[in-house]
Structure 1
Amino acid sequence: MKLKFNSNLDYQKESISSIADIFKGQIPAQSNFTVSAMTDKVGTEGKLITDLGIGNKLELDEDDILKNVREIQLRNGLKPSTSVDLGRKHFKFTIEMETGTGKTYVYLRTIFELNSKYGFTKFVIVVPSVAIKEGVVKSIDIMTEHFKRLYANVIFKDYEYKSQKLDIIRDFATSDNIRIMIMTIQSINKDTNVINVDNEKTNGIKPIEFIKETNPIVIIDEPQSVAGTQNGKESIESLNPLCTVGYSATHKDKYNLMFRLDAVDAYERQLVKQIEVASVFSKDHNNAAYIKFISVSNSKSQIKAKLEIGKWDAKKGTIVRRSKEYKKGDDLYELSDNRDVYKGYQITEINAKEGDEYVCFVGHEPMKLGEVRGEIDDDIIKRTQIRKTIEEHLNKDLKLKKEGIKVLSLFFIDKVANYRTMDKDGNVQKGKYAIWFEEEYKKTVMNPKYKTLFNDVDIETEAELVHGGYFAQDKKGKLKDTSGLTQADEDAHNLIMTDKEKLLSFDTKLKFIFSHSALREGWDNPNVFQICTLNETKSEMKKRQEIGRGLRLAVNQDGERVYGFRVNTLTVMANESYEDFARKLQSEYEEDEGIRFGIVEKHSFANIIISKDGGSTYLEQERSEEIYNHLKKCKYVDDKGKITDKLRNDLKEQKVDIPEEFKIVEDEIIYKLKKLSGNLNIKNAEDKKQIKLNKMRYLSPEFKELWDRIKYKTTYSVNFDSNELINKCAEEIKRSLNISKAKIIYSKAEIDITKAGMVTEENNRYSDDIEEPNFIFPDIITFLQNQTNLTRRTLVEILKKSERLDDFRKNPQQFMDEAASIIKRKMRLMIVDGIKYKKVGDDKYYAQELFETEELYGYLSKNMIGSKKSVYDYIIYDSDVEAQFAKKFEKNDSVRMYIKLPDWFKVPTPLGSYNPDWAVFIEKDNAEKLYFVVETKGNILAGELREREYKKIQCGHKHFAALGNDVVFKETDSFEKFIENV
Structure 2
Amino acid sequence: MVDVFSGQPFADGVNYRIDPGKEAGPALLEDSGLRNAEVALTPAQLLANVHRVQHIRGLELSKGLNDPVKKTAAPINLDIEMETGTGKTYVYIKTIMELHKRYGWSKYIVVVPSIAIREGVKKSFEITAEHFQQLYGTKPRSFIYNSSRLHEIERFSSDAGVQVMIINVQAFNATGKDARRIYEVLDDFQSRKPIDVIAANRPILIIDEPQKIEGDAKKPSKSLEAMTSFSALFALRYSATHRIERTKVHRLDAIDAYNQKLVKKIAVRGITVKHLAGSSAYLYVDGLEIGKGADFPKVRVELEVQTAHGIKRQVKRLSQGTNLYDISGGIEAYRGLFVRDVDANSDVIELSNGDILSSGEVTEDVAEEQKRRIQIREVIRAHLGKERELFAQGIKTLSLFFIDEVGRYRDYEREDTLGDYARVFEEEYGAVLTDYLGELDLDEAAERYRDHVRAIPVRSTHEGYFSIDKKSRQFIDGRIAARGDFAGQSDDVDAYDLILKDKERLLSFEEPVRFIWSHSALREGWDNPNVFVMGMLKKSDNTTTRRQEIGRGLRLSVNQQGERMDNPVTVHDINELTVVTDESYTDFVTALQKEIIESLSARPRRASVDYFVGKTITVGDGSTSALDKTVAQALYFHLIRNDYIDESGLVTQAYKDARADGTLATPISEVLKPVIDSVWPLVDALYLDVPKPIDGRKPKKIPLNEANFNKREFQELWRRINHKTVYQVEFDSNELIDSCVRVLDTSLNVTVMQYLVESGRQVVGLEVEQLEVGTGFKVSETKVEHSAVSAQSTVKYDLLGEIAEKTQLTRRTCAAILTGIHPGTFAKFKQNPEQFITEVARLINEQKATVIVEHLSYDPLDNRYDSSIFTENQTAQDLSKAGDKLTKSVYHYVVTDSKVERSFVEKLDVSDEVVVYSKLPRGFFIPTPVGDYNPDWAIAFRDDDTKIKHVYFVAETKGSLSTLQLRGVENAKIECARKFFAALNSKADRDVTYDVLSDYSGLMQLVTTP
State TM-score, norm by structure 1: 0.73
Pairing 1:258–2:249 present: yes
Q: Distance in 2 between matches of 1:664 and 1:647?
A: 20
Alpha-carbon distance in 2 for matches of 1:874, 1:621: 52
Displacement after TM superposition at 1:158 (Å) = 0.6
What residue in structure 2 maps to residue 441 of structure 1? Answer: 429
Match of 2:35 in 1: 54
Q: 8 Å contact 2:461–2:512 — kept in the other structure?
A: yes
One of 506, 514, 533 as aligned partner of 1:511: 514
Q: Does 1:544 align with 2:534?
A: no
Q: Which moved more, 1:651-660 or 1:244-253?
A: 651-660
User: Match for 2:419 among 431, 443, 451?
Assistant: 431
Identity, % of aligned positions: 34
What does 1:64-463 correspond to in 2, within 5 Å? Answer: 64-84=45-65, 90-152=75-137, 154-189=138-173, 193-229=180-216, 230-231=220-221, 232-284=223-275, 376-423=366-413, 429-447=417-435, 449=437, 455=451, 462-463=457-458
Are 2:464 and 1:469 equivalent residues in the alignment?
Answer: yes
Match of 1:489 among 488, 492, 498: 492
Cα offset for 1:626?
A: 4.2
SS at match of 1:383: helix
Cα distance in 2, alignment partners of residues 922 and 834 from structure 1: 35
Counterpart residue number, 1:873: 892
Task: Give 1:934's aligned amino acid.
Answer: E
Match of 2:77, SS state, is strand
**CA pair 227-704 structure 1, distance change in 2 beyond 3 A:** same
Residue 720 to residue 653, structure 1, CA distance change in 2 (3 Å): closer
Deviations 1:298-348 (A, max 9, x none): xxxxxxxxxxxxxxxxxxxxxxxxxxxxxxxxxxxxxxxxxxxxxxxxxxx
The 1-side partners of 2:792 and 2:420 are apart by 78
The 3 A distance-change label for structure 1 pair 876 and 562 is: farther
Distance in 2 between the 1:136 and 1:243 partners? 20
Distance 2:708 2:365 in 1: 51
CA distance in 2, matches of 1:797, 1:648: 47
Deviations 1:241-264 (A, max 9, x none): 333322222233454443333323
2-structure distance, mates of 1:557, 1:276: 24
Moved more, 256-265 or 97-106: 256-265
Would you say the 8 A contact 1:474–1:480 is kept in 2? no
Query: Which position in structure 1 is the counterpart of 2:559?
Result: 556
Q: Does 1:529 align with 2:524?
A: no
Contact 1:27 1:811 in 2 (8 A): no
Q: Tell me the distance in 2 between the aligned counterparts of 1:541 and 1:971.
A: 50
Q: Residues 414 and 516 of structure 1 are in contact (CA less than 8 Å); yes or no, is this contact kept in structure 2?
A: yes
Q: What is the CA–CA distance in structure 2 between the aligned matches of 1:400 and 1:383, rounded to whole Å?
A: 26
Alpha-carbon contact 2:129-2:140 (below 8 Å) kept: no
Cα distance in 1 between the residues matched to 2:37 and 2:973: 41
CA distance in 1, matches of 2:572, 2:238: 26
Identify the structure with bigger relative contact order (alpha carbons < 8 Å, sequence gap 6+).
Answer: 1
SS where residue 922 of structure 2 aligns?
A: coil
- Larger displacement relative to structure 2 (793-802 or 462-471): 793-802
Q: Is the 8 A contact 1:689 1:859 kept in 2?
A: yes
Q: Which residue of 1 aligns with 2:847?
A: 829
| Residue equivalent to 2:905 | 890
Change (3 A) 1:112 1:911: farther
Relative to structure 1, is the Cα distance of residues 833 and 796 closer, same or farther in structure 2, using a 3 angstrom cutoff?
closer
Structure 2: 5+ residue runs without aligned partners? Answer: 14-29, 280-363, 441-446, 754-786
Q: Shift of the alpha carbon at 1:508?
A: 1.4
CA contact (8 A) 1:93 1:257 kept: yes
Distance 1:653 1:159, change over 3 A: closer
8 Å CA contact retained: 1:54, 1:175: no
Instruction: After TM superposition, list the pairs within 5 Å mapping 1:684-833 onto structure 2.
Output: 684-695=695-706, 697-699=708-710, 703=714, 707=718, 710-729=721-740, 736=748, 781=800, 785=804, 788=807, 790-802=809-821, 804=823, 815=833, 818-819=836-837, 821-823=839-841, 825-833=843-851
Quote how far apart the aligned CAs of 1:415 are.
1.0
- Could you tell me whether the CA contact under 8 Å between 1:719 and 1:831 is conserved in 2? no
Shift in CA distance, 663/130, structure 1 to aligned 2, threshold 3 Å = same
Q: Distance in 1 between matches of 2:732 and 2:818?
A: 17
Deviation at 1:267, TM superposition (A): 2.8
Which residue in 2 is equivalent to 1:903?
A: 922
Q: In the alignment, residue 204 of structure 2 is paired with which amino acid?
A: I
Residue 394 of structure 1 deviates from its aligned partner by 2.4
Gaps of 5+ in 1: 1-18, 32-48, 289-373, 742-766
Q: 1:387 deviation in Å? A: 2.2
Task: Name the aligned partner's letter for residue 170 of structure 2.
Answer: Q
Contact 2:254–2:596, Cα closer than 8 Å, also in 1: yes
For 1:598-637, list aligned pairs within 5 A. 603=611, 606-611=615-620, 616-618=623-625, 620=627, 622=629, 623-624=631-632, 626-632=634-640, 634-637=642-645
Deviations along 1:387-438, whole A, 9 cap, x unmatched?
Answer: 22222222333332232222211111111122224449xx883222222222
Change (3 A) 1:842 1:556: closer
Aligned partners of 1:54 and 1:731: how far apart in 2? Answer: 46
CA apart distance, 1:727: 4.2
Asked if the contact 1:608–1:619 (Cα under 8 Å) also holds between the matched residues in 2, the reply is yes
Please name the residue that 1:371 is paired with: none
CA contact (8 A) 2:725 2:861 kept: no
Once the two structures are TM-superposed, the CA of residue 822 in structure 1 deviates from its matched residue by: 0.9
Q: CA separation of 1:869/1:249 partners in 2, compared to 1, >3 Å: closer, same or farther?
A: farther
Which residue number in structure 2 is paired with residue 355 of structure 1? none
Please report how far the alpha carbon of residue 580 of structure 1 lies from its aligned counterpart in structure 2 after TM superposition.
0.5
Q: Secondary structure at the match of 1:576?
A: coil
Q: Distance in 2 between matches of 1:937 and 1:237?
A: 59
Q: Note the alpha carbon deviations across 1:785-820, whole angstroms, 9 max, x for none.
A: 5555544544444444446599899969x6487347
In the other structure, the counterpart of 1:590 is 597
| In 1: Cα distance, 2:982 partner to 2:41 partner | 52
Q: Once superposed, what is the RMSD of the aligned Cα atoms? A: 4.6
Q: Once the two structures are superposed, what CA deviation does each residue of 1:745-765 show, in whole Å capped at 9, x if it has no partner?
A: xxxxxxxxxxxxxxxxxxxxx
- Maintained 8 Å contact 1:933/1:969: yes
Q: Number of residue pairs matched?
A: 824
Residue aligning to 1:341? none
Secondary structure in structure 1 of the residue aligned to 2:553: coil
What corresponds to 2:321 in structure 1? none
Deviation at 1:912, TM superposition (A): 3.8
Secondary structure in structure 2 of the residue aligned to 1:636: coil
Task: State how far apart, in whole Å, the 1-side matches of 2:751 and 2:635 are.
Answer: 33
Give the 3-state SS of the residue equivalent to 1:839 in structure 2.
Answer: strand
Task: Kindly provide the amino acid, as one letter, of the partner of residue 858 in structure 2.
Answer: K
Per-residue displacement from partner, 1:522-553 (whole Å, max 9, x unpaired)? Answer: 21211112111112578984211221111222
The superposition leaves residues 864-902 of structure 1 with CA deviations (integer Å, 9 ceiling, x where unpaired) of 88655643233335xxxx322222213457895764432
TM-score after normalising by structure 2? 0.71
SS in 2 for 1:412: strand
Letter in 2 for 1:834: I
Partner of 1:22: 4
